[in-house]
Structure 1
């Protein structure tokens, strides 16, 4: 399905209907894991909240299992936030690597990468970056994890410090179609600068498409007052009302939401449940599902942000968004369709 560059209600309605079709049914016929398995690669000594928000948002939205692969010192805090998350404190900072393996850092990194990649066959989507930090030991490890993920065609959602990795090494992701990048304004500008693309705010649709093309048509989610999703060929826009409060963690919630819809798309493609009505773009599913998952993730996240702000006002935090995901999802996707534009939560 190809859309014009302008946002209109009909386009949003069509995307909304397609999004609903890949949502797993609530049924006794499915077993654990068939409604999605997501993992987050992130979390460092300084930043433990970001991977929690990403993984927990995925669980609250409806994936069956959510893993977090984090730095050793982040493991206990993240485990303490919720017993629902499966936490693997396998990653090591450069300081930690030097302390225990000063002469064999590369060897230790390869061991960690092998340990993480051994889980890939049990996952549908990998989120890269929340709370990762700029530590060189973690960055070097994640670069190799990305290479391993590409080798098995594992879908990736890359955000936050994961985008810092791509900014410094675009070839790591160039041409990898199952990848979704989710830059904010600053991250988008840095990627454009790296790819030598002039960023003109009056030509944001063309600039976003050009960035995607320069990166080999990976899906770009340019976050802003209107979220823009493009693979360099098609553009979807999402401008339903969000929050006037810009608290930290909203991007992490978004990465988890996108990963969830992406996982559901892969489960739908695998026929994990019966399909009463086939998607009419099923023949191009691998190309279009990252776009659809990105739009749907933006849509539900903006609704959660709006609902949290309406309830909490200035005191709203990302935790409030997470706690409202269930109600927002029900009101948005599982009740009357006349609530598309504005729902009461």
Structure 2
């Protein structure tokens, strides 16, 4: 990506960010719900949530449980309980640490359906992509959905949707996958992050750290969700602006911003700690990188 194109994108992204104002109240600029975690995987939703918390706010509700054994609530009851939160939410993240447990997958499917009914933006990562792989209709044609597959998840999604995978044509493949899913936004994570909807493709080739830490994708899902929430506030006219960004542009811009920030955080953390870099080190860089990119 040329510096001219990057600058143009950053100018657009900056328009989505609410100004810091004493006139705003808690939650007005966006509320995010992270659906994830399981008995096996507890760290993933933490990193996704904390990424949002660094630039937004967070509450925790322990509703979902893996396995129906010794657990009295049905998937429908759990889905209904979680969906009670949705009138207060603007974005949900589904998948970090969710597991492929049958009950958890069934709950996630119901929760996504309820979120769509409330017109919420949805970020799907990790085991939520396994759900999409087996049940594409859960997000098909829902253009407020953002999918963030890694290389293996991307290949499996392409196979499930009969989209030919071509390693040499990443942008084209991501766009075809988006088209097969009815225009959802695809964030194909890799050496270069490819962000695509059915009409447009962006590439984020900003250097990241050389150590790939587990949990980095969870941070990405939280940052993308934050920008989507701000996009909702932008559309609602929370602050004065020229309304030049269309609703269809917001998922693409939010995804690009998330990729740029997380890659830069990864690089800065790696420059400090090298092989000893941990996911928590990347998380700690969010504030300074965000300030450098968007608030100076």
Tell me if TM exceeds 0.5: yes
Question: How far off its partner does 1:221 sit?
Answer: 0.4
Q: Does 1:34 align with 2:28?
A: yes
Partner of 1:17: 11
Residue 293 of structure 2, aligned match among 324, 332, 336: 332
What is the DSSP-based 3-state SS (H/G/I as helix, E as strand, rest coil) of the residue aligned with 1:280?
Answer: coil
CA contact (8 A) 2:163 2:173 kept: yes
Partner of 2:269: 308
- C-alpha deviation, 1:13, in angstroms: 1.0
| Alpha-carbon distance, 1:132 to partner | 0.5
**Unaligned stretches of 5+ in structure 2?**
none
**Aligned partners of 1:18 and 1:279 also within 8 Å:** no
What residue in structure 1 maps to residue 186 of structure 2?
220
One of 109, 117, 135 as aligned partner of 2:83: 117
User: In the TM superposition, what is the alpha-carbon distance from 1:110 to its structure 2 partner?
Assistant: 1.2
Offset at 1:287? 1.1
Could you say which residue in structure 1 is the equivalent of 2:129? 163
- 1:197-216 deviation line (CA, Å, top 9, x unaligned): 22111122211111100000
The runs of at least 4 aligned residues of structure 1 exceeding 6 Å deviation read none
Q: Provide the rounded CA distance (Å) in 1 between the counterparts of 2:44 and 2:209.
A: 19
- Structure 1 residue 100: Cα displacement: 3.8
TM-score (norm 2): 0.97
How far has the Cα of 1:304 moved from its partner?
A: 0.7
Q: Which has the larger radius of gyration?
A: 1
Aligned pair count reads 296
State the match for 1:249 in structure 2: 215
Residue 274 (structure 1) shift: 2.5
Is 2:180 aligned against 1:210?
A: no
| Residue matched to 1:297 | 258
Aligned match of 1:130 in 79, 83, 96? 96
Q: CA RMSD in A?
A: 1.1
What is residue 106 of structure 2 aligned with on the other side? Answer: 140
Deviates more, 1:326-335 or 1:300-309: 326-335
Stretches of structure 1 lacking an aligned partner (at least 5 in a row): 1-6, 67-85, 336-345
SS in 2 for 1:126: strand
Q: Bigger CA drift: 7-16 or 126-135? A: 7-16
Where in structure 2 are the equivalents of 1:97-108 lying within 5 Å? Answer: 97-101=68-72, 108=74
Which residue of 2 is the match for residue 287 of structure 1?
Answer: 248
User: Partner of 1:193 in structure 2?
Assistant: 159
| SS of aligned partner of 1:271 | coil
